[in-house]
Amino acid sequence: MTDTQPEPTDPTAAPVTTPERRRGRRVAMVAAVAVVVAGAATAVVLTTSDGGSDPVQAVQDYDAVFKQKDCDGFNDLTTRSFRTELGLTSCAKFDVNAKDASIASFRLTVRSSDVRDDTASVRTEETFSSEAGKQTVKLVYALVKDDGVWLVDGITADKGV
């Protein structure tokens, strides 16, 4: 009877993969690609959407990021002076404010917009439901164009027509 010793293995050799391990790697790879594609799509939308060149889109984006509690989006769509006026100078303060503004449903209707050089106003009617019930408010968004991007610089109650 001969004594057989296991053959030495090459420590630099790739590990043997089983079909299960390959399938797991494929799933992980597909998931990673999906995350990268989704991130790239979001970046493309944010950098090429009308949000940068259209005041109406900027207002719609502003309301969307506030509802989604997206602090970075909020900062990207508003001026520093507006954030200071609201007291939302940090994401921690924004998160508390956005959390307190829990809205069950929301509808934004743009009534009109007016663009003059690097300033714009957008009149909206916004209907939302919360714990207090259904409410409708008419607002005027003041926007300024900064480096080609429209930013919300103020919001007031619409006392006009």
For the stretch 91-130, pLDDT in tens is 999 988 877 665 667 889 999 999 999 999 999 999 988 7
Tell me the three-class secondary structure of the chain, residue by residue: CCCCCCCCCCCCCCCCCCHHHHHHHHHHHHHHHHHHHHHHHHHHHHHHCHHHCCHHHHHHHHHHHHHCCCHHHHHHHECHHHHHHHCCCCHHHHHHHHHHCCCCEEEEEEEEEEEECCEEEEEEEEEEEECCEEEEEEEEEEEEEECCEEEEEEEEECCCC
Classify domain 53-157 at the CATH class level: alpha beta
| pTM of the predicted model as reported, rounded to 2 decimal places | 0.65
